[in-house]
């Protein structure tokens, strides 16, 4: 953990909420705040392949700062992608525009799992440089570091690309529990190394994205996923860095996810926040959960939805206002700025 003079002040509303207290001003940021909703992002990304951009500290710094300058959000999130650790380890994965991560050779056999490379922390110099530069530039505003969770990374490795039902992944999980254990252990190590590197360079919050965990019934999640996710969080216990745990379509899993070791549970847009709170139980802060699509409606509709989410969040020890999944590319960026202003105008306690 960095102890430079640029570390966020303990009074940062985001850190206060993540630690389970109510700051005077509610913190707000947006998943996928850096990206295609911003014209300055599209201009800066032109001619730079996504995965190259993620490993270029100058570009990472600029793309991370763009939404902070524009919206006045309470945190920056590192510009990267959940598949970057796979790329650094030497796995042949690319991000195809409009599709997402695609693998040349999916991982489906014993040999494939055994052939997975280790992730060498010495290869993460670009990440260390980018995070340090950002922490310096952010002048006290928290930087959120992140990683993909073992299950979601496994889903990309096995499917070889995006999938609606994750049938191949689930067949592998149910049918080859021994191999599944090896695969998820390797991926838990990737996530742990990737997160730790960001915290060591000064990231003051860490978010683990288990985007596709909602594909599983709770019993399977508990048996085949939770132990590895717990391992990732436990490996970070010695750092004084609050952690956020988020997945999509995870309404039925919230109670289990709350036991994985993170201080904050991210809630997707499908579950009313007040219901999510009772599923999560006491002692956890929450993040979320406006429907990203509501930002395409008229301002009156958006304003009512923001007020509703903030009211429902008052039942939690701490609430970080966010969307219930990423910003849609067609969102008007001025609306995001207005949402930040509105949240900041509402009482935090
Ligand atoms: O602003 C931020 O939130 C930080 C940057 C960020 C990106 N990806 C940049 C990105 C973060 C946090 C992610 C996480 C990520 N990547 C997740 C977890 C979050 C979630 O949405 O559930 C997942 C599942 C991925 C995998 C992935 N990468 C997808 C599905 C896509 C979209 C493909 C497309 O073109 O529609 C990507 C590409 C990607 N990652 C883009 C960005 C800005 C778009 C690529 C581009 O601009 O060329």
Domains of the chain, earliest start first: 13-345 (3.20.20.210)
What's the mean pLDDT in 185-211? 98
The reported pLDDT for the residue numbered 2 is 43
Q: How far apart are CA 348 and CA 319, in angstroms?
A: 9
Structure tokens at 76: 């920056």
Task: Kindly report the number of other CB atoms within 10 A of residue 45's CB atom.
Answer: 18
Note the Cα 93 to chain centre separation in Å. Answer: 20
Distance CA 189, CA 149 (A): 10
Report the candidate in 344, 339, 346, 221 with the shortest Cα–Cα distance to residue 290.
339
Is any ligand 1 atom within 6 A of the Cβ of residue 310?
no
Classify residue 138 by burial, with Cβ atoms within 10 Å: 0-12, 13-18, 19+. buried
State both tokens at 211. 């985007």
Query: Does the annotation mark 69 as catalytic?
Result: no
Give me the pLDDT at residue 7, please: 66
Does 34 contact ligand 1 (Cβ within 6 A)? yes
Whose C-alpha lies nearest to ligand 1, atom 27? 100
Judge whether residue 6 has pLDDT over 90: no
Q: What is the mean pLDDT of the chain?
A: 96
Cα(61) to ligand 1 centroid in Å equals 16
Choose among 127, 108, 181: nearest CA to 151. Answer: 181
Position 11 scores a pLDDT of: 78
d(CA 223, CA 230): 12
Quote the pLDDT of residue 8.
67
pLDDT band at 1 (very low <50, low <70, confident <90, very high): very low
DSSP character at residue 272: -
pLDDT digits (tens, 9 = 90+) for 243-298: 999 999 999 999 999 999 999 999 999 999 999 999 999 999 999 999 999 999 99
Q: What is the pLDDT of residues 71-126, one digit of tens each?
A: 999 999 999 999 999 999 999 999 999 999 999 999 999 999 999 999 999 999 99
Contact 149, 208 (CB under 8 A): yes
The token duo for 206 is 């860490």
State in Å: Cα 9 to ligand 1 middle: 29
Catalytic hit among 21, 36, 108, 176: 36
Percent of the chain surpassing pLDDT 70: 97
Give the residue among 50, 79, 258, 89 at the shortest CA–CA distance from 187. 89
CB atoms near residue 139 (< 10 Å): 9
């Amino acid at each position: 953990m960095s102890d430079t003079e640029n570390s966020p002040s303990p009074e940062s509303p985001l850190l206060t909420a993540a630690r389970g207290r109510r700051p005077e001003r509610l913190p707000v940021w947006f998943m996928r705040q850096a990206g295609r909703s911003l014209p300055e992002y599209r201009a800066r990304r032109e001619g730079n392949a996504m995965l190259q951009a993620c490993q270029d500290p100058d570009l990472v710094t600029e793309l991370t700062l763009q939404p902070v300058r524009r919206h006045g959000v309470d945190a920056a999130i590192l510009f990267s992608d959940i598949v970057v650790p796979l790329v650094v380890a030497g796995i042949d994965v690319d991000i195809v525009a409009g599709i997402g991560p695609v693998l040349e050779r999916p991982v489906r056999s014993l040999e494939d799992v055994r052939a997975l490379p280790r992730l060498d922390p010495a290869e993460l110099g670009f990440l260390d440089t980018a995070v340090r530069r950002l922490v310096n530039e952010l002048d006290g505003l928290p930087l959120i570091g992140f990683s993909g969770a073992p299950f979601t990374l496994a889903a990309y490795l096995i499917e070889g690309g995006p999938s609606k039902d994750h049938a191949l992944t689930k067949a592998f999980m149910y049918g080859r529990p021994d191999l599944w254990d090896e695969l998820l252990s390797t991926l838990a190590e990737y996530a742990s190394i990737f997160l730790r590197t960001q915290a060591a360079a000064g990231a003051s919050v860490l978010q683990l994205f288990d985007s596709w965990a909602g594909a599983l019934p709770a019993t399977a999640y508990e048996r085949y996923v939770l132990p590895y996710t717990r391992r990732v969080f436990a490996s970070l216990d010695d750092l004084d860095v609050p952690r956020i745990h988020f997945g999509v379509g995870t309404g039925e899993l919230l109670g289990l996810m709350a036991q994985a070791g993170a201080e904050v549970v991210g809630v997707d847009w499908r579950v009313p926040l007040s219901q999510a709170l009772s599923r999560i139980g006491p002692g956890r802060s929450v993040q979320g959960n406006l429907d990203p699509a509501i930002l395409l409606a008229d301002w009156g509709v958006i304003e009512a939805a923001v007020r509703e989410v903030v009211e429902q969040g008052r039942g939690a020890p701490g609430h970080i206002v966010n969307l219930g999944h990423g910003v849609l590319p067609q969102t008007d960026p001025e609306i995001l700025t207005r949402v930040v202003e509105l949240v900041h105008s509402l009482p935090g306690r």
